[in-house]
Structure 1
Amino acid sequence: MNFRLVFKVTGKTLLVEAFCLLLPLAVTLFYGEDPTPFLYTIAAIFVVGGALSFLPASDHFFAREGFFSVGLIWVLVSAFGALPFFFSGYFPSYVDCFFEAASGFTTTGASILPAVEGLPMGVLFWRSFTHWLGGMGVLILTIALLPSLGSRTLHLMKAESPGPVVSKLVPKTSQSSKILYGIYCALTLIQIICLKLTGMPWFDSVVNSFATAGTGGFSVKNASIGAYGSPAAEIIITIFMLLFSVNFALYFLLLCGKVRQVFQSDEFRFFLFIVAGSILLITLNLWLTGGYYATLGETVRHASFQVGTIISTTGFASTNFDLWPEFSRILLVLLMFVGACAGSTGGALKCSRVLVLLKCVRREVRQVVHPRSVNVVKLDGKVVPEETLRSILLFFFAYMFITAASTLVVALDNFSFGTTLTAVVACIGNIGPGLELVGPMGNYAGFSCLSKIVLSMCMIVGRLELLPILVLFSRNAWKRS
């Protein structure tokens, strides 16, 4: 393990975080608030990041260093990103601050705050800005800003990018990162303008767009998006939540004029099928059960918003879906496991993995019926290699094992099964709200420090898709040879 180079890359990423903190500092000064929480944090990061970034190191950097670096960076970025919350004095303890920061950067949106409307504007801006930074990935931002990282960038990009497959859009990894962030910024800007046209204040339009783009879900209102009482804003946010749930490589294909290839994507069609089917089923369940919403249009709107916010792992709320019928609640929990498309800003298992797992089941059934036949799994018309199938199966097992183990630890707090299980599922899937005490109108304040640390690590593990954090805690990874 080339520790010097790992620490050097970590230091440069921390300096990028310090640079990003200048924006919430400017917001704080604009509103005439106390800037010391951000000044202290920037100073601390500059000292640590500067010291690490100037370490002399050889250029030997391979996949092991890449995964180790990504795991370390995300833990440290969350740890330093928690300092503005800690210095502000609005959070009970540093553990709560770390939980909030990890929730922000991993785009989970789970919060320990029972009320947010009393927070300073700078702190609110930083909460939502962490979503935007973490949505596309802090390492991808660093690669875009610091192409001098050289050949090691592909190892970093592979370790951080969500989904079972990562590929470069163009030959240079740094150029791919710039293209991704260009698309990301353009969609965010369009949403800000659209929300402003609905009558939403500028500040709210910006922070809600940050939270939507990163599929995070931190809101500046206690009642989330439902507080605005604006059907137009809900429709716009629903559309953009789904747009940010799509593989960004498809947008690149659209820009290249390859429209047919976009709609030939098996994962994209599977994603649309799940979204449309879930909206239809929940709408029928709510409407036939009766007593929830006055009109069919309102029912469709709320069903669409909640399906969009759960499958995109955003975590916004337009209504308290914890009061919905059991069928709709269970369907939303199942969507928590599915998640968005690979290569998007969403979390959970990802549609591509779920689709491949379903095709593996179909292949095994065919093999039983026709033992002598040769059956392969195809995705987008191409045969999926057996090594990829094996890695997806192992990922699914590890994902479920970590979910079960974390649920056992969190169960020590003695909350109900629904609260405990959905809290873990919502955190490892980077969704945010679960059911009951951690529902859309609830929060995570009641959990013990141990549970908050476990849930925070679940967020980071889920965002990085297991391997970087597992490598970070592997004894073999710490060996120098």
Structure 2
Amino acid sequence: MGLNLRIIAHIMGLLLLCNGSFMILAALVSVVYSDGATPEIFMAAIVTMLVGTMAMFYTRGHKKEVKPKEGYIIVTAGWLVMSISGVLPYIFTGSIPNLTNAFFETISGYTTTGASILSDIEALPEGILFWRSLTHWIGGMGIIVLAIAILPLLGIGGMQLFTAEAPGISSDKLHPRITDTAKRLWLIYVGYTLLETLLLKLAGMSFFDAINHALSTLSTGGFSTKNQSVAFWNDNPWIQYIIMLFMFLAGTNFVMSYLAFTGKVQKVLKDEEFRTYFFFILSFTIIAAVLVYFEADVQISDYHPMVWGAAESAIRHGLFQVLAVVTTTGFVTADFTNWTPFLTVFFFGLMFLGGSAGSTSGGIKVVRHLLIIKNGILEFKRTLHSNAIIPVRLNNKSVSEHIVYNVIGFFVLYMLLFIIGALVLAYLGLDFESAIGGAASSLGNVGPALGDLNPVVNFSILPPFGKWWCGFLMLLGRLELFTVLILLTPVFWKRT
């Protein structure tokens, strides 16, 4: 049987309508702040929604069934369609007139990478800044998860899309119906965003800065409204502590938040991935804070007023950068590559960690590292007891060999793609440090990198092909490799 191309095109139209609606929201912000970009942003919204309407109209007689193959195509094509249409506000307003740069900024937004080519962010119109943050927020919980919540209106089941969108270790659902799961996830996501906005406003941010940073934090994106990123508020520790709290929550499996809200706190505390995630954050922060305090105090004092003392400053900036890198949010309070050589390598290593499965963060994810470590330890026992069947256990439950092999395969493929990604960037003229940093940052959706792509500069130095290449790595990382790469295999396109 062939592919159901009509349902693919129909859902692309639906996504374009959603994207256009968000553009209208950005245009309304432009009206409020009288930034002069309103007509252009509205025009971008109209074009996007018109194309989406036409796509839905001409495919209205589609078969309302999404098979696994269609699911993978819809997810990958959906992210590309959203990214392509998402360049229109930048192009129409002239904020980023170059197509390559506009696409890089847009796909960096939707994949919640946060890498930017902009040198003067504060010069952008408020409507464009808000649109930039919205691309993060839309991509954070997942474009397709958003669409799943309204697919029943079209009579379409969404399980295949959810599986392709979130191909993690498990597909735990909060509710038997996948659409209700998507709605509950989005309710938590929206609630956290509103709460962070309120707290940041109370802490001293303007409302505009507060809502933009909340959109970026919950999506673990990292786009800021300031050229200095969060370092702009280094004299206000409360703002940074609030952002740290929500970075931690955004890097946690959203199912854990749901369990906590429904009174099942003990289940959260017993979850192995959550405990490992918390332990990683705590131990890495201690290492960073101690080294910052004893070895990088001069650099820290240059970048950050120590309003609460040297020890507090070291802890705060150590914790902030650990959270920003581990959760792949990418906010910046300092150039950690300017602290010590050890900390530069240390944070580079953290780019491969990632937050929890089921979170908005990128990277390999804590649960995969946990299963690889558990399986590695058990190999010693299996060597001594060759006839024994010793399964890997997670949360006191046996993990099937299929999942263990999947995790190992993912890790090997991830590292191979990192090496290939770095080689391509090196071929394009980047030095060793910049090449490996750019590849790790793009594939892990981290944002800041190393060398010439360090946290206080941007990716504008990349040649055009380098920007498209990093955009491809961002998409691979955001959709966890298999969803995109399976489309490049001959077996996928064979008729069955």
Query: Letter of the aligned partner of 1:471 in structure 2?
Result: I
TM-score, normalised relative to structure 2:
0.94
Q: Greater relative contact order: 1 or 2 (C-alpha under 8 angstroms, separation 6 or more)?
A: 1
8 Å contact from structure 1 (residues 162, 344) kept in 2: no
> 1:162, 1:342 within 8 Å by CA — same for their partners in 2?
no
User: Partner letter of residue 136 of structure 2?
Assistant: H
Q: 2:242 aligns with which of 236, 242, 246?
A: 236
Q: For residues 217-257 of structure 1, what are the alpha-carbon distances to aligned partners after superposition, in whole Å with 9 as ceiling and x for unaligned?
A: 00111110011231110111111100111001111111221
Measure, in 1, the Cα distance between the counterparts of 2:470 and 2:44. 24
Corresponding residue number in structure 2 for 1:12: 14
The secondary structure found in structure 1 opposite 2:158 is helix
Spell out, residue by residue over 1:3-22, the C-alpha distance to the aligned partner (whole angstroms, 9 max, x if none).
11111112111111111211
**Secondary structure of the structure 2 residue equivalent to 1:378:** strand
Please say if 1:350 is aligned against 2:365.
Answer: yes
Structure 1 range deviating more: 82-91 or 45-54: 45-54
Give, in whole Å, the separation in 2 of the partners of 1:4 and 1:334.
44
One-letter amino acid of the counterpart of residue 9, structure 2: F
Deviation at 1:162, TM superposition (A): 5.8
User: What are the within-5 Å matches in structure 2 for residues 109-188 of structure 1?
Assistant: 109-150=114-155, 152-161=157-166, 163-188=168-193
SS state at 2:318 partner: helix
| Farther off after superposition, 287-296 or 179-188 | 287-296
Q: Structure 1 CA distance, aligned partners of 2:152 and 2:224?
A: 34
Q: Cα RMSD between the aligned structures?
A: 1.5
Check whether the contact 1:37–1:85 (CA below 8 A) recurs between aligned residues.
no
TM-score, with normalisation over the residues of structure 1?
0.97
**How far has the Cα of 1:47 moved from its partner?**
2.8
Residues 224, 317 of structure 1: 8 Å contact kept = yes
> What is the distance in 1 between the residues matched to 2:492 and 2:99?
29
Structure 2 CA distance for aligned equivalents of residues 92 and 41 of structure 1: 14
Contact 2:105/2:117 (<8 A) preserved:
yes
Measure the CA separation in 2 of the matches of 1:115 and 1:162: 37
| Whole-angstrom distance in 2 between the partners of 1:361 and 1:344 | 25
Distance 1:277 1:298 in 2: 17
With 128-137 and 161-170 compared, the bigger mean Cα shift is at 161-170
From 44, 47, 52, give the equivalent of 1:44: 47
Q: Distance in 2 between matches of 1:475 and 1:92?
A: 37
Q: How far 1:92 moved relative to its partner?
A: 4.7
Structure 1 distance, partners of 2:378, 2:240, is 41
**Counterparts of 2:161 and 2:231 in 1: how far apart (Å)?**
38
Taking only the aligned residue pairs, the percentage that are identical comes to: 34
Deviation for aligned residue 1:366: 1.6
Residue of structure 1 aligned with 2:89, choices 84, 89, 103? 84
- What is the correspondence of 1:252-271 to structure 2 with a 5 Å cutoff? 252-271=258-277
Please tell me whether the aligned partners of residues 103 and 111 of structure 1 are also in contact (alpha carbons under 8 angstroms).
yes
Correspondence 1:171-210 to 2 at 5 A: 171-210=176-215
174-183 vs 290-299, which moves further: 290-299
Report the alpha carbon displacement of residue 163 of structure 1 after superposing the two structures with TM.
2.7
Alignment of 1:241-252 (within 5 A): 241-252=247-258
Cα 1:210–1:374 change in 2 (3 A) is same
Whether contact under 8 Å (1:68, 1:471) holds in the other structure is no
**What is the alpha-carbon distance in structure 1 between the residues aligned to residue 418 and residue 25 of structure 2?**
36
Report the Cα distance in structure 1 between the residues aligned to 2:48 and 2:492, rounded to whole angstroms: 26
Q: Distance in 1 between matches of 2:280 and 2:463?
A: 36
| 3-state SS in 2 of match to 1:383 | strand
Which residue pairs with 1:26 in the alignment? 28
In the TM superposition, what is the alpha-carbon distance from 1:290 to its structure 2 partner?
4.8
Cα deviation digits, residues 321-358 of structure 1 (max 9, x gap): 11111222212111110110000010100001110111
